[in-house]
Structure 1
């Protein structure tokens, strides 16, 4: 058994690399036979560093029979984020523009359905104020949920998650929009509308947002948040809340359940990964039952609206096919509990709410407060006519008062 010491020599005519390496290796030679084992010669740093990057990458192929992919990506400088030019788009993303638009639409519907004279200035200020308060609530919501949004496929591209904006930008945007929105509602509409907006802002950011990771009751609380904007519109028009406002709020409250439960059904992996306590994750059976139950409540509320003098009887008939189909899709979701049925229910919910609001507006019973007062006067007179003669009170018309004057008989 003998060993042969070999110095590593490299020579390349093409690249002009030559020279002896200080490294050496031993080759084992056994009993005059040829070399039975070859040691792998590692390239020295002296000449390896002079090869181009592409040559180094290609030389790594087929090592130990493995195909290593070639990385041909070019290095580029990361551009500086231009916040000023994109601030408009970033603000729309912070406000969740589509969700805010839906909130404003329900507030406008509440204003239009209220039995009071229509004032365009107040109507516009109510819509603008509601939109600004909703934008502030959504911005604060994203500020609190950055680490959880990063774990969900649906929310991982939000501006704060991607680092397009800093947290201080979200807080500043929320402070400006909330102060402006509440000021517009208080001074431009009325204090009751501003109070409803402030309460909804605190409820969404301070109670609903942290409860999403604590209890499934967050869905019921979130439905209350969604039912307040139409009440804001009603209060902005009439300055008060009555039975008609409660009917509209009940419709919006119940609509949240089939809408959100169907949406969350296909997002269960994301919600579970982020640690959100949703019905679709913790209790799928309850999720389907609640969605079906509240479609029935919507149908009953629409029928009762005519008896509460909010709409006429035609609304109960015209909205019935729309509500029955909504119930049918919820029933299919309850029975099948698959992605297809949940997707159909969610998509129809986006059509159902605007169509229902439009039907309520067309079949509005009273268009002004004077009509409401006249109706009450007629009802009172009809009730009086039903009373027997013995129980009626007759009020004599007021006439001139004649006073007797004393005459002085002594003068006569």
Structure 2
């Protein structure tokens, strides 16, 4: 009996740990920072790559942990989040706080061993996510704008980790991921509108699933496409893009734009969900194209 009990307890502990740190999201953020590193570095240092992956993972995990502590009562109101470890009662606030605090310290220390600027931007990311974005979600749609800042740091963070320098190149990477987050999060805010409303989250720019929100989604998608092809014109320093790569990035952007226009035409949760999925594919593909283009 003892064996069967431990076999049921262990997976739930592991899955709760994954959920409190949002492992899948954390890994996607780590992917962004590694892509930024590969773009900035001249000779790849495996040790720095591993430190960046670990430090980045701890930072995002910490942010998500603190976020779930702050929003535990609101999470309990939403179907999407009511089974998370804290609102469901499987994990205490104290346990979550200890995990998040340890993750914060480990993240900052590990990133500091790469360079001071990387640690600083990592710390800013945690602070903005937990102390600005999280409380603003129930107050104003501007929360998405604030949240897009820490969300855009990882891609840029990789370049800073590689070069110990912040200039036009990481600034461009930051801008690309910054603008991309608006259509991505507004698509999520659209198809989860009813659920978010239960907790009082104001995620859409107009506060409603209307043409105004759909138009802004299109506009920010266009800005994302423009920023993504800027390196081809040669004024973003060492961050360069070949004509072929720029065409591929532009075509990927047109696909995403097509789904943003589809949302405007159809105004449905299905169209919003499709845009969200396509936006994830888009940012992943753009980062892969950027990296491959550099090394070819």
After TM superposition, the score normalised by the length of structure 1 is 0.66
Per-residue CA deviation, residues 13-66 of structure 1 (Å, 9 max, x unaligned), is xxxxxxxxxxxxxxxxxxxxxxxxxxxxxxxxxxxxxxxxxxxxxxxxxxxxxx
Q: Closer, same or farther in 2 for the Cα pair 1:152/1:86, shift >3 Å? A: closer
Q: Does 1:135 align with 2:61?
A: yes
Select the residue among 72, 75, 80 that pairs with 1:154: 80
How large is the Cα RMSD of the aligned pairs? 2.0
Provide the secondary structure at the position in 2 that maps to 1:363: helix
Q: Does 1:170 align with 2:65?
A: no
Tell which structure's C-alpha radius of gyration is larger: 1
The corresponding residue for 1:206 is 131
Aligned equivalents of 2:96, 2:58: Cα separation in 1: 14
Aligned equivalents of 1:204, 1:226: Cα separation in 2: 8
Q: Is the 8 A contact 2:38 2:44 kept in 1?
A: yes
The corresponding residue for 2:260 is 330
Per-residue deviation at 1:186? 0.7
Structure 1: give runs of 5+ residues left out of the alignment. 1-78, 368-412
Per-residue deviation at 1:86? 4.2
Q: Is the 8 A contact 2:65 2:96 kept in 1?
A: yes
Provide the secondary structure at the position in 2 that maps to 1:279: coil
Aligned equivalents of 1:343, 1:90: Cα separation in 2: 26
Number of residue-to-residue matches in the alignment: 287
Q: Does 1:320 align with 2:250?
A: yes
Q: Is the 8 A contact 1:112 1:361 kept in 2?
A: yes
Per-residue CA deviation, residues 314-350 of structure 1 (Å, 9 max, x unaligned), is 2211212111111111011122211221121111112
Aligned equivalents of 2:11, 2:189: Cα separation in 1: 35
The corresponding residue for 1:113 is 39
Q: Is the 8 A contact 2:141 2:205 kept in 1?
A: no
Aligned equivalents of 2:265, 2:157: Cα separation in 1: 37
Select the residue among 343, 347, 365 that pairs with 2:273: 343
> Which one scores higher on RCO, CA 8 angstroms, separation ≥ 6?
2
Per-residue CA deviation, residues 125-146 of structure 1 (Å, 9 max, x unaligned), is 0110010011011001000111
Mapping for residues 23-172 of structure 1, pairs under 5 Å: 86-172=12-98
Structure 2: give runs of 5+ residues left out of the alignment. none
The corresponding residue for 1:380 is none
Per-residue deviation at 1:280? 6.4
After TM superposition, the score normalised by the length of structure 2 is 0.91
Aligned equivalents of 1:297, 1:85: Cα separation in 2: 43
The corresponding residue for 2:283 is 353
Aligned equivalents of 1:226, 1:287: Cα separation in 2: 21
Per-residue deviation at 1:287? 2.3
Aligned equivalents of 2:207, 2:253: Cα separation in 1: 28
The corresponding residue for 1:27 is none
Per-residue deviation at 1:115? 4.4
Higher helix share: 2
Provide the secondary structure at the position in 1 that maps to 2:258: helix
Answer with 124-133 or 258-267: which moved more.
258-267
Select the residue among 108, 116, 119 that pairs with 1:182: 108
Q: Which runs of 4+ in 1 moved over 6 A?
A: 82-85
Higher strand share: 1
Aligned equivalents of 2:270, 2:131: Cα separation in 1: 35
Q: Does 1:277 align with 2:202?
A: yes
Provide the secondary structure at the position in 2 that maps to 1:160: coil
Q: Is the 8 A contact 2:39 2:291 kept in 1?
A: yes
